[in-house]
């Protein structure tokens, strides 16, 4: 399963794919991993509108 989400690390739209699941979720696994930077997100925890995290170094 793949889908496109905004990656807060890449700061762009990225294809997220399901990583290998070690927790027995099977096809219902809520975990997704950015195919570019490897950042993992959980579908249930991801807000529809991504929260912009302000950089401390601004
Ligand atoms: Zn899982
Ligand atoms: Zn990313």
Tell me whether residue 33 is in a domain: yes
State how far the alpha carbon of 37 is from the alpha carbons of 2, 24, 25, 27, 58, in Å. Answer: 15, 24, 23, 23, 22
Q: Which of 4, 11, 3 is nearest to 51 (CA)?
A: 11
Answer yes or no: is 13 within a domain.
Answer: yes
Give first-to-last CA distance, the chain, whole Å.
36
In angstroms, what is the span from residue 57 Cα to ligand 1's centroid?
34
Q: Return the ligand number nearest the Cα of 50.
A: 2
- Strand bridging mode 2-7 / 31-34: unpaired
Decide if 39 is inside a domain.
Answer: yes
Between the CA of 13 and the centroid of ligand 2 the distance, in Å, is: 8
Count of domains in the chain? 1
51 within domain boundaries:
no
Q: Enumerate residues 6+ apart whose C-beta is below 8 A from 23.
A: 29
pLDDT at 36: 96
pLDDT tens per residue, range 2-57: 789 999 999 999 999 988 888 888 877 888 899 999 998 887 654 555 556 677 76
């Amino acid at each position: 399963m793949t889908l496109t989400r905004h990656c807060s690390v890449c700061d762009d739209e990225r294809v997220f794919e399901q990583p290998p699941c070690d927790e027995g979720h099977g096809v219902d696994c809520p975990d997704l991993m950015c195919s570019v930077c490897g950042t993992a997100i959980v579908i249930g925890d991801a807000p529809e509108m991504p929260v912009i995290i302000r950089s401390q170094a601004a």
